[in-house]
Amino acid sequence: MKKLFTLVLFVSIIIGAKAQTVFLEDFEGGVFPATWSQETAASDGGWLVGEAGDLESLSFPIEDHSRMIVTNDDLCDCDKGNDFLKSPSFDLTGYDAPYMQFDLYYFEGTYDATENLQVEISSDGGTSWEVLSDLGYETASWRTEFVSLGDYAGMTGLMIGFRYDDGGGWLFGAGLDNISVFEADLSVVDVAVTGANLGSNIDVIPTIMNGYSNYLADEDMIVNGVITNNAFVVITSFDVMYERGTDVYTKSFSGLSLGAGSTYTFILDEAPLLIKAGDNDVTVTVSNINGGVSEEPAGNTMTTNINGVTPVAGTMVVGEEATGTWCGWCPRGAVIMDYMTEKYADHFIPIAVHNSDPMTDDDYDGDLAGLGILGYPSGLINRQAFIDPLEFESAFMDAVANDPGVHVTPSFYIDENRNITVKTTLNFTDDLDGDYRISVVFTEDEVTGTGGTWGQVNYYSGGGVGLMGGYEDLPATVPAADMVYQHVARGIANGFDGDGGSVPATNASGSVHEYSTTWEINEDYNIENMYAISLLIDHDNDEIINAGSVRLSAVNSIENISSTKVSIYPNPAKEVTYTSLSFSKPTNVVMQVIDMNGKIVAERNYGSLDGDQILPINTMNFSAGIYQIQVIAGDETITKKLMVLK
């Protein structure tokens, strides 16, 4: 089963079916309870009572939770190898289904060791102890834990203990609150849907990502979510159904063992849901719980929504990823950038901005970081907020359906000294006034190198932190000989913010503006693997409004440099367009149709042509967007822009 990533999931669990409380300690007295005790060798006194602000530290910030009891190894950096908190003695005579409940704040963190927290019980007044539960990490917030004491029903002289061990290192700590022992009501069945999502199947990892507001219409999403047991009857089976209008699917789950407060994550990837344009309201329902019904049916359903969108023809979304060979988590960025480039080739432009490695462009790296980078890997979609690469697709979906009101088309000419001139053509489809600027980025694919700094550090090695597009099968540092880098930013002309005055302040719908940029291509760069990317930037907020990309070649290709006459009609086209050519002498002709990411989507060799020619191009199977018609006539190349509408 695929791993599930949910970026934001709020879950509130309330267990109300209990009675006959044996004891409850909420630490609201503000001091260490007189009936409790502890063992500690810590110089700070071990477990301390107070509020979050009094007990937290820089590396162990504590979420507010009224008064609590905490052991803070980060603040003390002392011997907390045996901070053992012990309850008063209690009696379970006459109890049939005793449970313990407590609120917990704990990370099970690792620094120079790994911390450990156990729940223990003594049945002889504290002389000997056995482990009830080894507590691990589940969330960065407070959570509620339940532990059955059924094996100790009817016994006396019982004590509960919480043993924290910093492993001899400088770690974090643990917080506890609202510790109680009580008799559970085993007559109540209460199961709720506490999470309902529509996720994207990122099969290259593989994983299913949640957190989307928009998604492409006519694409599949995966219904997934969380079922929570809000009572004390162990849940062994239930059915989950999703429903959107007439689209209904039900799956049965059995062989489970969900105790009080336990959750179950379901993924219905065997029945993906095809997203429709507009609202997609999907209701998830849990039923047939243990073959019956829930006592609280109001919690049995939850609704989620996705807005199905259609990309606007000519809209290109730019992803700038901050990366580096030294960065062990950066394989995640490489996997996502390749995934986005392949899946959304008609609308996504990738740029990998390297830091502190042999591929670094200092100006680009510094300017990108100056926007407030949060860490590596991270990045920007159209230069909005920094996000993790795993969030790129969601941000792309929000951007690709926006009409920028202008189409951006680069073309180029390279002279014998490797000086490139990029002509950026802006075709305005709406009025656009303001301080807009053009910047041109150059990237290179298939980049390799030798030496230690060319190897990629890889924290995914071995698979201990999950799958990541095959990097889990590679060594902790992937040797330079095995690494090929894509989308590498080689330079940025006109400056990171664009060239002031490169775009008129006032632009009417239907107008066209051209601006030329020059740049020298380094001798070490392979022109055949390079792209010129024209960015149109709103200088008021630094956002990229739209962009265009063209793959370079060693052949000059700015249109109109040739005496050969070329025209395209109709343009825009829906089903077919025609290329009209006029030759003064017999000429060998090859025609290519290239999408905005440089991929050749159609190609034909016409052999020798002379005189006036009209060549049809079938566009029925092309996606909506901007294409380049490249005519290679003898030793000349002529490029024309074609817009395909659907």
Q: What is the CATH classification number for the domain harbouring 633?
A: 2.60.40.1930
Q: 482 and 402 in one domain?
A: yes
Average pLDDT over residues 207-230: 97
Q: What is the pLDDT of residue 562?
A: 47
Q: Which of 309, 336, 353 is the last residue of a domain?
A: 309
Q: Which residues contact 397 (CB under 8 A, 6 or more apart)?
A: 212, 213, 214, 215, 216, 309
Q: What is d(CA 373, CA 382) in angstroms, rounded to the nearest whole number? A: 14
pLDDT in tens, 363-402: 999 999 999 998 999 999 999 999 999 999 999 999 999 9
| pLDDT band with cut points at 50, 70 and 90 for residue 557 | low
| pLDDT band with cut points at 50, 70 and 90 for residue 556 | low
Average pLDDT over residues 17-32: 88
Q: What is the pLDDT of residue 252?
A: 98
| pLDDT band with cut points at 50, 70 and 90 for residue 19 | low
Q: Which of 184, 211, 239 is the last residue of a domain?
A: 184
Exposed/middle/buried for 635, CB within 10 Å: 0-12, 13-18, 19+? exposed
Residue 255 forms part of a structural domain:
yes
Chain mean position to CA 106: 25
| Burial call 569-597: b when 16+ CB within 10 Å, e when fewer | eeeebeeebebebebeeebebebbbbbbb
Residue 559 forms part of a structural domain:
no
Q: 571 and 629 in one domain?
A: yes
Total number of domains constituting the chain: 4
| pLDDT band with cut points at 50, 70 and 90 for residue 560 | very low
Average pLDDT over residues 335-362: 97
Q: What is d(CA 583, CA 565) in angstroms, rounded to the nearest whole number? A: 7
Q: 513 and 436 in one domain?
A: yes
Residue 7 forms part of a structural domain:
no
Q: What is the pLDDT of residue 9?
A: 30
* End-to-end alpha carbon distance in the chain: 37
pLDDT in tens, 123-158: 999 999 999 999 999 888 999 999 999 999 999 999
Exposed/middle/buried for 353, CB within 10 Å: 0-12, 13-18, 19+? buried
Q: 455 and 409 in one domain?
A: yes
Residue 105 forms part of a structural domain:
yes
Residue 98 forms part of a structural domain:
yes
Average pLDDT for the chain? 92
Q: Which of 24, 18, 17 lies closest to 160 in space, CA to CA?
A: 24
Residue 9 forms part of a structural domain:
no
The percent of residues above 90 in pLDDT, for the chain, comes to: 80
Q: What is the CATH classification number for the domain harbouring 147?
A: 2.60.120.200
Which tops the pLDDT comparison, 88 or 626?
88
Whether residue 480 contacts residue 450, with contact meaning beta carbons closer than 8 Å, is answered with yes
Q: 599 and 508 in one domain?
A: no
| pLDDT band with cut points at 50, 70 and 90 for residue 555 | low
Q: 47 and 110 in one domain?
A: yes
Average pLDDT over residues 192-218: 96
pLDDT in tens, 246-261: 999 999 999 999 999 9
pLDDT exceeds 80 at position 5: no
pLDDT exceeds 60 at position 18: no
pLDDT in tens, 272-303: 999 999 999 999 999 999 999 887 888 999 99
Average pLDDT over residues 570-586: 84
Q: 299 and 240 in one domain?
A: yes
DSSP state of 302: E
Average pLDDT over residues 558-573: 64
Range of 431's domain? 317-551
Average pLDDT over residues 410-416: 90
Whether residue 463 contacts residue 511, with contact meaning beta carbons closer than 8 Å, is answered with no
pLDDT in tens, 582-631: 887 888 899 999 887 778 899 999 989 888 888 999 998 898 877 889 88
Q: Which of 171, 162, 179 lies closest to 39 in space, CA to CA?
A: 162
The three-point CA angle 554-557-563 to 5° equals 125
Q: Which of 142, 165, 184 is the last residue of a domain?
A: 184
Q: 336 and 300 in one domain?
A: no
pLDDT in tens, 300-321: 999 999 999 999 989 999 999 9
Q: 600 and 483 in one domain?
A: no
Gyration radius of the chain over CA positions: 31
Residue 58 forms part of a structural domain:
yes
Q: What is the CATH classification number for the domain harbouring 201?
A: 2.60.40.10
Q: What is the pLDDT of residue 12?
A: 35
Q: Does an H or E element contain 84, and which?
A: strand 83-86
Residue 452 forms part of a structural domain:
yes
pLDDT exceeds 90 at position 327: yes
Q: 633 and 496 in one domain?
A: no
Q: 226 and 83 in one domain?
A: no
Q: 212 and 269 in one domain?
A: yes
